[in-house]
Amino acid sequence: MFIPKNFKFRKQQKGKKFTKILSNCLNQQTNCVRLKTLGFGRLTSNQLKALKQSINKIIKKRGRVVFKIFPQTPITKKPIEVRMGKGKGAFSHWIAKVQPGTTICYIESEFLLLTRKALEYAKNRLPIKTKITI
């Protein structure tokens, strides 16, 4: 689900800084609870999929989940016990780079307590520190 359909190059360089990423801004909406990052990091497509599943497990059809980030950076990895050199490794997985203040997702619902509970449950699926804002 969290995999790009089209991409220009199979392999990319990692890059040094995450500071060129623009944070996603969101219009003020009523009954909207957001999950924001507090630090720099990488989120894999599997982590985002687990996040979505854990949120949907609690809110079911009583709200709408919208993701503001998408994994579009390919990561490569060399096989185990391979000597140095011989080029770049094969494709491994997709990641999304995030910086502090980036909105990962938000939930639109009339049940604020339920949405906070869902995001508290989902925070444990992520490797970076996050906070819930209303």
Summarised one tens digit per residue, pLDDT across range 91-122 is 999 999 999 999 999 999 999 999 999 999 99
Greater pLDDT, 129 or 16? 129
Total tally of structural domains belonging to the chain: 1
Res 16 pLDDT > 50: yes
Residue 30 within any structural domain of the chain = no
Whether 53 is covered by a domain: the verdict is yes
What pLDDT shows up at residue 18?
55
Q: State residue 17's pLDDT score.
A: 61
Domain assignment present for residue 6? The answer is no
Is position 32 within any domain? no
**Structural domain contains residue 46:** yes
* Closest C-alpha to 128, from 33, 17, 37: 37
In this prediction the pTM is 0.80
CA distance 10 to 2: 16
pLDDT number for residue 21? 45
Residue 103 covered by a domain: yes
Consecutive H or E run containing 74: strand 73-77
Q: Is residue 51 part of a domain?
A: yes
Mean pLDDT in residue range 65-85: 92
Question: What is residue 9's predicted lDDT score, i.e. its pLDDT?
Answer: 78
User: Across all residues in the chain, what is the average pLDDT?
Assistant: 86
Smallest CA-to-CA distance from 71 within 48, 89, 99, 102 is with: 48
- Residue 51's pLDDT is what? 94
Residue 9 counted as domain residue: no
* pLDDT on residue 47: 94
Asked if residues 60 and 80 have their Cβ atoms less than 8 Å apart, the reply is no
Q: What is the DSSP letter of 12?
A: -
Q: Which SS3 state, helix, strand or coil, does residue 55 take?
A: helix
The CATH number assigned to the domain holding 58 equals: 3.90.1170.10
Q: How far apart are CA 69 and CA 89, in angstroms?
A: 26
Range of the domain at 97: 42-79+87-133
Lowest mean pLDDT, pick from 24-28, 75-79, 111-115 = 24-28
